[in-house]
Chain A
């Protein structure tokens, strides 16, 4: 249209009388405008995609920038003499007697050893008050040392050289989070302490090292961000994923088989179908309300089922199972539907019953699809936070849940994404680093699950 109309009345300004004629091979001004719109439109589409991906990249970048340091911890190494008179006054190396010494005792031992080590290394300390020097050591260090001694009473009387965790501010200074300017406004740290930390670093007493404790420790109180770890959260998430797997997958697969292969087409099954579609769109927090009202208040409270209580991973798993069920049913049904009818016809033709056809032929062929859907469902359950807040999993949990065969499923626990939230809502900026670190751990788990799903799909996908 455009090229021909160059001479016609609709050709726009180019063909107006009195103007020089334009070649029909070149573009008219109107055509140029249309082509410009075309390329703008295309660029808009491309930039929408690029913008979305750029934001994603920015988000991941900030997480890794702020979170990687959570896996490292500033520790001081100096000899500590665990003198028997102080730690084991009873003198019998008995674990029960050793346990009578509180962290106060160990605190004193560490402080004295620290001051002695500073003097031995020739580090100048006269400009910093002694109280401030000992405050550089984490409040959690004494507890760790005590646990070491209780685990191995033979240490009493020996001189050991453990890595002692330093306070959150010193740690932040070594990692560049705390600057001298911010320290001046901060009542938890003095410039003298920072100077001393610099001197210790020069003398090789202090180093920022890889920190497994971040993955294994329990959570700690607001004043000790440096010892807070993800142990309880990882264990809680693992318990919940296991329970979701054994509760949700069999039920989901069974329901899908029934709906896809056996259900008569009537109002009743229509109701179930609409129901499942709508359940998939119910906001996750509503499942939290359901868990609180039914599992905790009615079943745990009024009916007295003791395994169902606030913060228990069993309750969390029940809630997540109900929430994941529609996802698994939808994925399983489409996997079953993808198995061609000829397979069923062949099996039925040689005399298999309907049930044998489904369990011996359709289900094995649909298995890769079911597995993929299950893994993706579990991955989304692993990242779910809001319903777990309502059933109390955000509470501070100081002890690891016990092993599953000792009733660990009903012990209080937290979950990885909930830990991200609860650390992010604390005031100390050191917890933001931990929160980002927790996200990295969570993302690693999600990545592994998704890659497994992709691998399964690539490996076993069948085109009929």
Chain B
């Protein structure tokens, strides 16, 4: 029995538990609700939770642990030479799993029966071609050991899923029975239900922590793997980026870092003046009605998916810049360029900078403005000489956050910046960034354990650290500034 029907049965059991628990409590109290410690529904909830929650967690634990046992059973069929190092045994195991899936498919499509499978022999006929016909592509011919391991694997999985269903349902029924036994008029059902709910709520808030742990773990483990194959100094200080299929690649980080920084600088040169002026106008000049209309319209810019901006960069901005600026000025004739990507990322960041700055400008106390007006300043003088200096730390924070977003932006640079890793000052040349190369190296066809692929994790880790530092710094600056006027 697969997991989905099992979960459905558990849900049905829980629903039955609710009705049973509630009715039993009412029956024991002789129908008089006031004799019960808790409201009748809580007895129902108690039974439902008992039926569902322990069985559910047991199921999850089973799913996590089962593969280890089944694999060790299947691996015992493989020759000792395969098991010696971990890479070859992982590969063999994935073959075993694929063949088992192929056998399942064959049975499902009616190409084989269970007795055929028992009689299946690796030395007869071309099994690899056969598995191809049932939709399982294998890299190498099927060896007898792998085939018998796959048969064993299938049988264990099949019997394990039956045992699993029985065990899980037994747990659910037993817990439900126990819950019903506990049910009595003086049983504190509400308190118990609330305790479990509180635990569940807490568990949910831990997922955020787990995500961070998962991110850091996935980045770190594969980065270590990379640095064990490629010297760390050559990565961080290498000046050339030239991955090759056959190995012997140069994977220097500096050109990618330069491309990223260059694009970010251009993006900020576009986004900061436009965003800041827009924020100043909205906060200081615009009437309430204009503000109510214009602000959401600017926010639409941020609501459009980045891939749309990527296409805009690719087919509109890039060719425009090439035909009207870079080609006439003799600076190159590539539509994909640092300038293209930078300008478009800048446009995308306008609403971000403007809404953050808007908040910050609004947080500057009115008394400062009144003081400046009282001394005879015009509005723009007040803004330039009083409001902006007062808001400066907050605006700096907003700019840092904008920089962090520009550094982490992916689709626009993938489509608008090009793929050539170069160290150049010409903004009309195609250059590339860390995010482009993460996508490039991880979507290619290279072997997963080669440095050319693993470098993406090192890049990802660097990206994560840089953006995290920028954000922490920005939040710290903004918080410090806020306290100033509170």
Binding site for B on A (CB under 8 A): 1-2, 34-35, 37-38, 41-42, 44-49, 51-53, 55-56, 58-59, 62-63, 66, 250-252, 254-255, 257-259, 262-263, 271-272, 275-279, 281-290, 292-294, 297, 301-306, 322, 325-326, 329, 353-355, 379-380, 382-386, 389-390, 392, 394, 405, 417-418, 420-421, 424-425, 432, 435-436, 439, 442-443, 446, 450
Contacts and interface: CB of A to CB of B under 8 A. Distances in A.
A380 B307 CA distance: 12
9 contacts: A37-B378, A47-B277, A48-B281, A59-B312, A277-B475, A281-B467, A281-B468, A302-B90, A386-B306
A38 B380 contact: yes
Given A285-B410, A301-B94, A439-B311, A379 B303 contact: yes
B36 to A, nearest CB: 15
A390 B312 CA distance: 22
A443 B278 CA distance: 25
- Among B351, B378, B409, B468, find the residue whose CB has the most chain A CB atoms closer than 10 A: B378
B435 A51 contact: no
A1 to B, nearest CB: 4
Nearest to A281: B471
Given A282-B468, A286-B215, A379-B303, A272 B208 contact: yes
B300 A45 contact: no
Contact of A49 (B298, B376, B404): B298
Given A56-B300, A420-B308, A283 B410 contact: yes
A303 B93 CA distance: 10
B122 to A, nearest CB: 22
Nearest to A31: B378
Interface in B271-305: 273-278, 280-282, 284-285, 294, 297-298, 300-301, 303-305
B145 interface: no
Contacts of B13: none
B435 A304 contact: no
B162 interface: no
Interface of B: 4, 63-64, 67-68, 70-71, 90, 93-94, 97, 101, 190, 194, 197-198, 200-209, 211-212, 214-215, 217-219, 221-222, 273-278, 280-282, 284-285, 294, 297-298, 300-301, 303-312, 314-316, 347, 350-351, 375-376, 378-381, 383-384, 401, 404-405, 407-411, 414-415, 435, 438-439, 442-443, 448, 456-457, 460, 463-464, 467-468, 471-472, 475
Contacts of B285: 42, 45-46
Given A45-B277, A272-B205, A303-B67, A424 B408 contact: no
A239 B266 CA distance: 38
Contacts of A294: 214, 217-218
Contacts of A293: 218-219, 221-222, 457
A145 B144 CA distance: 45
Nearest to B315: A432
A382 B303 CA distance: 11
Contacts of A59: 304, 308-309, 312, 316
A355 B306 contact: no
Contacts of A439: 307-308, 311
Given A281-B467, A353-B190, A289 B438 contact: yes
Contacts of B316: 58-59, 62
A277 B71 CA distance: 40
Given A48-B278, A283-B463, A383-B304, 8 more contacts: A48-B277, A63-B312, A285-B435, A290-B218, A293-B221, A439-B307, A442-B308, A450-B303
Contacts of B408: 282-286
Nearest to A297: B448
A38 B378 contact: yes
A35 B378 contact: yes
A442 B305 contact: yes
A55 B347 contact: yes
B307 A258 contact: no
Nearest to B38: A353
Nearest to A39: B380
A49 B201 CA distance: 44
B314 A424 contact: yes
A2 B282 CA distance: 28
Contacts of A259: 205
B380 A49 contact: no
A377 to B, nearest CB: 12
B343 to A, nearest CB: 9
B311 A420 contact: yes
Contacts of A405: 4
> Which of A34, A283, A418 has the most C-beta atoms of chain B within 10 angstroms of its own C-beta?
A283
B205 A263 contact: yes
A41 B385 CA distance: 13
B378 A289 contact: no
Contacts of B315: 62, 66, 424, 432
Contact of B305 (A47, A292, A385): A385
A93 to B, nearest CB: 23
B101 A285 contact: no
B368 to A, nearest CB: 18
Contact of A443 (B70, B202, B212, B304): B304
A289 B442 contact: yes
A2 B378 CA distance: 11
Contacts of B67: 302-305
A446 B305 CA distance: 9
A34 B384 CA distance: 13
A380 B94 CA distance: 36
B437 to A, nearest CB: 11
Nearest to B471: A281
Given A294-B214, A439-B311, A52 B305 contact: no
A45 B376 contact: no
Nearest to A322: B211
A355 B94 contact: no
A412 B240 CA distance: 37
Nearest to A323: B211
Given A303-B64, A325-B208, A420-B311, A42 B463 contact: no
Nearest to A251: B204
Contacts of A432: 315
B411 A283 contact: no
Contact of B472 (A251, A271, A278, A385): A278
Contact of A258 (B202, B310, B409): B202
A47 B274 CA distance: 9
B411 A290 contact: no
A56 B311 contact: no
A385 B307 CA distance: 7
Contacts of A417: 305, 307
Contacts of A380: 303
B313 to A, nearest CB: 10
A36 B4 CA distance: 72
A49 B380 CA distance: 17
Contact of B375 (A1, A272, A285): A1
Given A38-B379, A286-B463, A255 B305 contact: no
B305 A34 contact: no
A389 B456 CA distance: 13
B397 to A, nearest CB: 12
B411 A421 contact: yes
Contacts of A285: 408, 410, 435, 438-439, 460, 463
B273 A48 contact: yes
Contacts of A38: 378-381
Contacts of A303: 64, 67-68
Given A41-B383, A254-B204, A52 B307 contact: no
Contacts of A58: 316
Nearest to B273: A48
A394 B467 contact: no
B380 A421 contact: no
Nearest to A436: B311
B304 A386 contact: no
Contacts of B351: 52
Given A59-B308, A62-B312, A282-B467, A262 B201 contact: yes
